[in-house]
Every structure is written in C-alpha cells, then in structure tokens.
Structure 1
Amino acid sequence: MNGEIAVGFFRHGTEVPIVRHEDAPPVRWDAVSVRSTADGRDRRRPVSALDDTDAATLVRSADPIDVGTTAGSADRTIRPYLFECDTRELSLFSDGSFAAHAWVQPPALLDRETAPGLWEAYLAVAPSIPTVREDTDHGASYVSLRALETLRDRAAAAAATGEGYDSVATTARELCRARPSMGVVRTRIDRVMAEADSDPGSVRDRAMKACAAAVRADEAAAERAASRLGDRVFTLSRSGTVRSALEAAGPDAVFVAESRPAREGVGIAERLAETEAETETETGNETGTDVTLLVDAAIEGLLADGTVDTVLVGADTVLEDGSVINKVGSRTAMRAGTAAGIDCYAVCSRDKIVPGTEFDPEFGPAAAVYGGEADLAVYNPTFERVPPPAVSGIVTEDGVYGPDEIGPIAREHALYRRWDG
C-alpha cells in the first residue's frame, strides 16, 4: 500500500477544480492534495492547500477509501474533504503548482482519465438526501443547488453502472419531499425530470444544465435587487442572494437583525463588515458602508423611525397569491416597513415561485430556545408567511413582479409536476 492521500474538492457554485500534475501522465486529472493532520483525540483535520487570501470553508469529510489500481490490491487510500469557496481565483492556480487546471461539474470525472478512485472519493463527500433534508444553516437557494447536485450525481452514477431510471426517479421524489417549505427545491427537481427522457443519462445532462442555470439566476436576481436599493438598507437572516445584492450596491448603511435563535444574521453582518474592511485595505479608500447588528425585538422600532429607506429580504418560497415565505421576522419587518412608507422587496430566483397557497412550516429544535427543566412548550417556527400587501415587489432574474403578477408563473411551474403522474 502506498499510504494515505488527502484530497480536497473545492466547490464554487456547483463545480470543483481538477488539476494535472507535471510528473503525472499528460491526460490524467486529479483533485487538489491537502495535508491531513490528527489532533489529540485522533480525529483527522485538513490543512487547506490555500493561503490566507483565499476564503474556503470545510463542509465535510469522509472516512478513507481504499482504491485498488491492480486486481486484488489497495494501492491508494484516499481521505476526501469538501470545501466551499467564494471564488474561482484561487492562489494555488497562480503559483505554478500544476501543469493545468479546469473547473468542472463532478460527473465530468467519469468522462476523463483520472487518478484512481477520484469519483468514489467525491461521492463520499457529495451532497445527499440527508444533507439536503438536515441543512438548517443555509437558505433555499443554496439548499436547492445541493438538491440538484444530489440528483445529478445519482443519475451520473446510474448511467455509469447501467442502472435503470426507476432508482433515479425515486431519488427525485425523495428530494421533492425533503424540504416542503422550500418550494424551489421541488420546482428545480420537477423541471429536470419533466424535461429529461426516462433514462439516467438524460437526467444527468438536464441536471447539469439546471445547476449552471440556477447559479446564473441567483447572480442575475442579485444584480437587479442591487439597483433597487436605497442608501440605508435593512435585512435579516442569511441569504446569499441578499448578500450579493448588498455587496454590489454598497449602500451607506446596512442594518441586520440577528435572526434568533440560530442567529444567522450575525454571520451575514460579519461577512459584510469583513468585505468592507477588505475593500478599504485594497483601495486605500473608505467606501462608507456602516454595518449595524440589531436584536430582533428592535426591528419594528427601527423601521418606524425613518432610519431605513429599503427593506430587502430573501424568499425561501413565493406562493401563487404573492405571499412570501421567509425566515421568521420577515413578516414583522415588511409590515412595519410598508406602514412607514418604505420599499419592501423580496429577492429570489423565479424558480422559487410555486403553485398553491398552502404553507407547510418547518420548526427548529426546542433546545435552541430553551434548555431548562421546566415543563413548558416551545414554539420555534423557522419560516413564516408575509402577506401580499406588505410586499412592494418580488425581484427575480427576469424582472420585478408585483404580488398580483405571480399567479401565471406559479401555474406554469405546476406543469412540471406532471412527470410523476
């Protein structure tokens, strides 16, 4: 056995980089090697190949995989790690470490000559139905991308091994049920299945196109939202699309509610402040965006006193009647903003518009609110409905829609559900 190799899949959007080494066969591709060290409790932790200028977050790791390059032998042991990257411009691709690199969606590994076990290593850390179902840290856009990746990878594996369509369809159905309050998950999965032929290869190809389109849709929606923002903006929770819009617009001030009990707003406030500091360091100029974190109970008072001129929230789902489903606190913010004459926008991809008007709420764990021993109940809803009159507009990649313009789009999306009878 040649020992253990730790490799990192550095995901940006729905793609990962693969590399060619100078001393490897000229057409063979591999993942980026990382150093893996053990702490005092004998748990393995990666040391990233990136330098301090790169933003990469460890998502998950997996147990080592033994890979046999010859019959009956395990010549290569791989310990895989999955990272999330904010950019494709990584330092390790500019320092001459590799002969070449390419960003690909992982099923492309099956179409290239790669180091042994690379596809299996990726699958060990890839998104799955459980990770989609259990993700309470990210918004619907992010979760829907992971759902598309799960379907894409399952279809690719089935196509490679000659499995039938039924196993892929079962995965699609389970993904559609995984996050009932995130309508975009079902819309995107339904569209792939409706537009694909009844074979795994076709589903794989449609899912790969859907992954790329979803990334572009979120970017375009953020650009449209940025053009609508005033100088002093309020937001809450953690939406990647909202964050992108704020970073693009560069308002004078951003007010972020902490969004208890998980306090997702703290993370986006920190990120906005860090981005501001990095910009000032690079340019030598103060851009003037002040970031303020506030307690949730202060939302209504802040919006009533004239401090803010735009409310911008994400949307986990937009219902057929124009209601917006989003993190608890959104209803208070948008109703208070509307009462104060403030523009109140929800920004999301068009795929988040779903048929029907029923709202199936998700609830967070009781322990996140109360860990004592008293005999009491805990009410901890994750999402809530914002009524149409409180919504000035829903900003998507295709335009800004009033709540009364949502119905036809929702009914269009309902047609995709016909793939399942």
Structure 2
Amino acid sequence: MAHVVTCFVRNRGAVLLTRRSERTGTYAGRWAGVSGYVEGDPTDATADAWRELREETGLTEADLDLLAAGETVTVADEEGSFVVHPFLFESSSRTVTTNEELAETEWTDPTEIRDRPTVPRLWETWRRVGPTVDDVRTDRTHGSAWISARALETLRDAAAEADDWESVAAVGRELRDARPSMAAVGNRVNRVLATAERTPDAVVTTAIRELRAAFDAGDEAARTAVGRLRDAEATAVATLSRSGTVATVLRELDPSSLLVAESRPEREGVAVAESMAAATTGTVTLTTEAALPAAMTAAETAVDAVVVGADAVGPDGSVVNKTGTRVLAGAAREAGVPVYVVAASDKVRPAGEYRVEDEASPRGAVYDGDAEVTVFAPTFERVPAASVDGLATEAGLLDAAAVRRVAATHAENAAWDA
C-alpha cells in the first residue's frame, strides 16, 4: 500500500485547493490539497510534505509554519490503495508557483471540499488537521485574535457536518466557554449564532463571513494604531507578549528602537524579539519585566510609546492582557510615556460581564523543585482604564462611551442562548 502526503495550506482562513492535471498518475481532474508520494520512512513523512510544497507551489520554510500532522486516512478504490498522511501549514502568502502536476489552484473556504469532485475522503483528511474545540481550549501559544479565528473555523466545520441546529448550538456553547478570558472568542461565536438563521447551512455561511471580517478588523485596528503612533512621531516603542495585531503594527511602523519585555514565566517575548529583529530595521532589545522601569528611561533603550494587545477589554475600558502588562503600563506612566492598546472591538466584553483569566501558567514554568513552595503564576491580569491612553480598533480610537456601546451590542448577541 502506497503512502502519500496531503498538505493543506491555510492563509487568513482560506485553504489552497489544487486541481490535479493529466500529468498526474491518479485522480486527474480532481481537486486535492498539495499531495505526493512518501519517498522515505512513512513514520516520518514531514520531509515529504515539505518537498511536495516546494515542488508544486514554490512555498518554502520561509513562507510556512507547520501547525499539525494528523492521523492517517486509508483510501482504496480502482485507482489504488493509499495511506494518506495529512498536514496543516499556515502561509504568510497566497502567491504560488505551480508545476506541471497542477492544472489549477484556488484559495477558498475548506467547506468547498464537500461540494467539489475531489480525491477520495478529502474532507475527512481535512478534519484530521482542522481546528477543534480542544485546540481552542488548550492553545497557550497564540493570541486571542488567532484563537478566535480557529473558533469560527471549528463552528463552521461542525455546522457543515450537522443535521440540526441544536447540535451546532452545542458546539457553539463549548467554544463560547472554552476561553473565558478571551472576549473575542465568545463575541464572535455569539454573533454568528445570534444573527444566522437557525439552520446548519446558515451558520456555515455566517461563520465564513465573520471569519473574513475578523481578519479585516485586525488589519484596520493595526492601521488605526500606526496612524496614531505616526501622528505622535513615535519612533521608539516598548511591547510585551505575543499579539499578531501588534506584530503588524510594529512591522508597518518599523520603529528605530524596540524594547520587548521577556514576558515571564513562558517567555513569549523572546520569540517576539527574534521575529521583530528579522522584520524591522531598528534596534531590538529584550529585557525582563523587572528591568522595564530602568530600560524605558535608559539612554540607549528609552521609548516614547508603549503598544500592547489585549485578550479582553472591560466595558469600563480596563484591559486584560498577559501578566506583566501592568508593570509595563506603570513604568510607562512613571516615565510619562503613552500606552496604546490595539485590538479589534470584538475584544470588548459584553456589558454586565467582567472576569480576569482564571488560567495559570504551569507550576514548573516558575518552580520545579521539591520544596513546599506555593506558586502564584496567573497568565493574565487586569490593567486599569486609567493606565491606557488609547484603544485602537477597526472603528478608530474608542473613548469610554464608545466602549460601553460596543459592550451593549455584544451583550445583545450573547442573548441567543438565553
């Protein structure tokens, strides 16, 4: 039985589907992912996946992140018998250079797989690597914008397979409650279920629309922040933690100096500093939260603005973000430096709801010894509204009254399950 890889490449919620040409040995004219034979050890097909991506699309390790390798799918029909190894990659680009094995390519929503003539069991293959409720619940690497997009994809795929509204609603409840601190997850799921007709097909269509809108909102929020920083002539910036929207701001602004807090205990700031060193032309300095007050005023690392993301924004304008943000905001206020939060308005909590993330970092991230030491290591904390000088969203800089209006709308959407 031959082993093959099927690679799904995703960008902004869409995946790359390919139509196989007459030059392929099997399933000519059918739609597929990026696929090919495993030439090495089937237990380690990752190298084959990367090879097929390079040969068939021109995408390389510089363009892609490998996110998942799924359980295999077995196919047996008149064309042959195959063990399919599924992979999911995230791409920074939709530009592909195809070879003779592909007759056509299209970036489209994965649910299109169900309506096209595809290679056998392609939808099942996608589901082996597509996002799940558990992925949303357990992801401790990405920010809330990323995780909320995965929640919408999970809801979409569940609705595509569902026979009735109640089974879709049950998945929606799981997703809504999976990350209680990340307001965007609940708000986006609630909006889909509040505005779609109560049929699975309507939920699929609405989830796809909301997914596209979510990416656009992040882009617009970043533009708002960049505009404000340029108006303020900010050229030296400090940040903390991992936020895709903040990364977009920093790449576009390209400050002459960037100060990045390490972000204890899980040290996400290290990866932020590394990525920004590659993406910007200015000087990048990594520091600890304890050293922030000194670093923000030292001659070589002084800053004139702070930019952070948010996992949630309270109806009162307070911000919930990675632990360490409050230290950063306090140091900024002491130094007379403005603090800007960049976040889509879906990160505002519904009116009447307030909570701080009740998750905690693993004990071993702080102390792995044998002594009877209690560890206090919350993942998130609240930053008072008075410590924030501006909330940059897709709708512009929001003042307190605007935040309250957004919170009221989110509360209305949350009532779908009342």
Per the normalisation by structure 1, the TM-score is: 0.90
Residue of structure 1 equivalent to 2:292: 299
The answer to whether the Cα contact below 8 Å between 1:34 and 1:46 also exists between their aligned partners in 2 is: no
The amino acid that maps onto 1:292 is T
The amino acid that maps onto 2:405 is P
The answer to whether the Cα contact below 8 Å between 1:221 and 1:397 also exists between their aligned partners in 2 is: yes
Q: Distance in 1 between matches of 2:269 and 2:41?
A: 31
**Following TM superposition, by how much is the alpha carbon of 1:410 offset from its aligned partner in structure 2, in angstroms?**
0.4
**Following TM superposition, by how much is the alpha carbon of 1:34 offset from its aligned partner in structure 2, in angstroms?**
5.4
**Which of 107, 111, 115 is 1:107 aligned to?**
111
Equivalence map 1:177-326=2 (5 Å): 177-229=177-229, 230-276=234-280, 288-305=281-298, 307-326=302-321
**Which of 369, 373, 391 is 1:372 aligned to?**
369
Structure 1 stretches lacking a partner, 5+ long: 277-287
Q: Distance in 2 between matches of 1:369 and 1:326?
A: 19
Residue of structure 2 equivalent to 1:387: 384
**1:59 matches 2:71:** no
**Cα distance, 1:250–1:260 mapped onto 2, change above 3 Å:** same
The amino acid that maps onto 2:403 is I
The answer to whether the Cα contact below 8 Å between 2:289 and 2:327 also exists between their aligned partners in 1 is: no
**Following TM superposition, by how much is the alpha carbon of 1:188 offset from its aligned partner in structure 2, in angstroms?**
0.1
Deviations 1:291-327 (A, max 9, x none): 1111221112223457100100001100100001101
Q: Distance in 1 between matches of 2:381 and 2:396?
A: 24
Residue of structure 1 equivalent to 2:134: 130
Q: RMSD of aligned C-alpha atoms?
A: 2.1
The answer to whether the Cα contact below 8 Å between 1:11 and 1:82 also exists between their aligned partners in 2 is: yes
**Following TM superposition, by how much is the alpha carbon of 1:267 offset from its aligned partner in structure 2, in angstroms?**
0.9
Residue of structure 2 equivalent to 1:285: none
Residue of structure 2 equivalent to 1:280: none
Per the normalisation by structure 2, the TM-score is: 0.91
Q: Distance in 1 between matches of 2:37 and 2:393?
A: 42
**Following TM superposition, by how much is the alpha carbon of 1:98 offset from its aligned partner in structure 2, in angstroms?**
2.2
Number of equivalences: 400
The answer to whether the Cα contact below 8 Å between 1:66 and 1:74 also exists between their aligned partners in 2 is: no
Aligned partner of residue 227 in structure 1, secondary structure: helix
Aligned partner of residue 297 in structure 1, secondary structure: coil
Residue of structure 2 equivalent to 1:333: 328
**Which of 28, 31, 39 is 1:29 aligned to?**
31
Aligned partner of residue 103 in structure 1, secondary structure: strand
Residues 367-376 or 308-317, more deviating: 367-376
**% identical equivalent positions:** 38
Q: Distance in 1 between matches of 2:103 and 2:6?
A: 17
The amino acid that maps onto 2:249 is A
Deviations 1:182-241 (A, max 9, x none): 011000000000011111111111001111111111111112212222100000111000
The answer to whether the Cα contact below 8 Å between 1:320 and 1:407 also exists between their aligned partners in 2 is: yes
Q: Distance in 1 between matches of 2:60 and 2:31?
A: 26
Q: Distance in 2 between matches of 1:14 and 1:273?
A: 27
**1:15 matches 2:14:** yes
Equivalence map 1:164-179=2 (5 Å): 164-179=164-179
Q: Distance in 2 between matches of 1:396 and 1:56?
A: 28
Residue of structure 1 equivalent to 2:348: 353
Q: Distance in 1 between matches of 2:310 and 2:115?
A: 37
**Cα distance, 1:318–1:165 mapped onto 2, change above 3 Å:** same
Residue of structure 2 equivalent to 1:283: none
**Following TM superposition, by how much is the alpha carbon of 1:45 offset from its aligned partner in structure 2, in angstroms?**
2.9
Q: Distance in 2 between matches of 1:190 and 1:157?
A: 20
The answer to whether the Cα contact below 8 Å between 1:361 and 1:384 also exists between their aligned partners in 2 is: no
Deviations 1:120-178 (A, max 9, x none): 100011100111100000100000001000000100122xxxx2111111000000110
Q: Distance in 1 between matches of 2:130 and 2:36?
A: 17
Q: Distance in 2 between matches of 1:269 and 1:36?
A: 37
Q: Distance in 2 between matches of 1:332 and 1:35?
A: 53
The answer to whether the Cα contact below 8 Å between 2:3 and 2:38 also exists between their aligned partners in 1 is: no
**Following TM superposition, by how much is the alpha carbon of 1:36 offset from its aligned partner in structure 2, in angstroms?**
4.8
The answer to whether the Cα contact below 8 Å between 2:66 and 2:88 also exists between their aligned partners in 1 is: yes
Structure 2 stretches lacking a partner, 5+ long: none
